[in-house]
Amino acid sequence: MPSIRFRLNGAPTEIDADPDHSLLDILRGRLGLSGPHFGCGSGECGACRVMIGDHAVTACDAPLWSVADKDVTTLEGLGTAEHPHPLQRAFIAEQALQCGYCVAGVLISAAALLRRNKRPSEAEVRGALDRNLCRCGSHNRMVRAILHAADEMAAA
C-alpha cells in the first residue's frame, strides 16, 4: 500500500491505505475521529464535511489521495472547550441545534466561508450552507450564530 501524508488538524499524519479509500472512513476508522459524521455516503447531506485547505468538502466521497500533502481540518481541529473557535462559542450561545448530528459539517462549512468572506451577508451564509442538510429545523439559529461569530471575529 502506498503511504499518504497530510496534516490533520495541524499534526503530520501518514496513512498506508488504498489511495481510493474514502477519506471519511479513514478519519473515523483508523484515525478514530468522531467529528465528521456519516450521513449518506454520496456527498448529498454534508454531515461529513471537513476542510481541505480552505475549502469545505464532503469526506465520504473524497478519496484519500485527494488530501496528499494538504491540510485537513475537522471539527476537532476548529477549537476545544478550553479554546473554542468563535463559531463554537456562538453555537452554544445561540443554542443553535436540536439533535446536533449535522452540526460538525455545518460548522466546517461556516468556518470555510469565514476564511474567504469575513463579513458575509445572511444570504451568503445561507448559500454557503445550502449543501448541508438539517432535519430538525435549526437552520435559522445556525445562521444567526454564524453571523454573530463573524461579527466577533471582525471586531477582534
Q: Does 79 bind other proteins (CB under 8 A)?
A: yes
Residue corresponding to grid cell 445550502: 130
Neighbours of 71 (CB within 10 A): 15
Q: Does 81 bind other proteins (CB under 8 A)?
A: yes
2 forms beta bridges with none
The correct pick among 13, 84, 152, 153 for binding other proteins (CB under 8 A) is: 84
- H, E, C per residue of 35-97: CCCCCCCCCCCCCCEEEECCEEEECCCCEHHHHCCCEEECHHHHCCCCCCCHHHHHHHHCCCC
The correct pick among 23, 104, 113, 114 for binding other proteins (CB under 8 A) is: 104
Q: Specify whether the CB–CB gap between 48 and 105 falls below 8 A.
A: yes
Binding mask 39-68 for other proteins (x = CB under 8 A): xxxx-xx-x---------------------
Q: Does 135 bind other proteins (CB under 8 A)?
A: yes
The correct pick among 132, 147, 148, 149 for binding other proteins (CB under 8 A) is: 132
Q: Which stretch binds other proteins (CB under 8 A): 49-57, 91-99, 113-121, 148-156?
A: 91-99
Residue corresponding to grid cell 476545544: 80
Q: Could you list the residues that contact other proteins (CB under 8 A)?
A: 21-22, 25, 28-29, 32-35, 37-42, 44-45, 47, 74-76, 79-81, 84, 88, 91-92, 95, 97-104, 107, 123, 125-127, 129-130, 132-143
